[in-house]
Amino acid sequence: MHRKVYRTKLKPERRDEYIQAHRNFSSDLMRRYKDAGMSICSVYMLGDDLVLITEAEDHDKTSAILAEDPLDRDWQSRMRPMKADDDWQEMQEMFYLDLTKLG
């Protein structure tokens, strides 16, 4: 699996709406993400900062599949106006340590 991390800003006045939307995330959309090859999708919030972590074998393939998925397109169009930034910006990994590999 390959991990990618992204960041964006939330519009403060849309915070509650954003939280509620994620508390009611569609099980159909969860299945679409899994079928597209995603194994992890996690959003963290600190103030107005949002961090998205995803894991997939092939992020390009997963993104291409989801770009054509009407359910994901609908979700993204609902979420985009809640964000202060245009969209998620990919972060560069600076350090990674897998301690399970230590003997």
Domain boundaries, the chain: 2-85
Say which residues have a Cβ less than 8 Å from residue 44's Cβ, sequence separation at least 6.
Answer: 50, 51, 53
Q: What is the pLDDT of residue 85?
A: 79
Distances from the Cα of 102 to the Cα of 2, 25, 29, 97, 99, angstroms: 20, 37, 37, 10, 5
Give the tokens for residue 30: 């969860």
User: What is the rounded CA–CA span in Å between residue 84 and residue 8?
Assistant: 8
What is the distance in angstroms between the CA of the first residue and the CA of the last residue of the chain?
22
Of 101 and 78, the one with more pLDDT:
78
The answer to whether 54 and 38 have CB atoms below 8 angstroms apart is yes
Give the residue-averaged pLDDT of 21-28: 96
What is the pLDDT at residue 86? 75
Average pLDDT over residues 48-62: 97
Q: How confident is the model at residue 102 (pLDDT cuts 50, 70, 90)?
A: confident
Return all residues near 55 (Cβ < 8 A) that are at least 6 apart: 1, 2, 3, 4, 38, 39, 40
Predicted confidence band at 58 (pLDDT cuts at 50, 70, 90)? very high
Global pTM reads 0.90
Domain 2-85: which topology? Alpha-Beta Plaits (3.30.70)
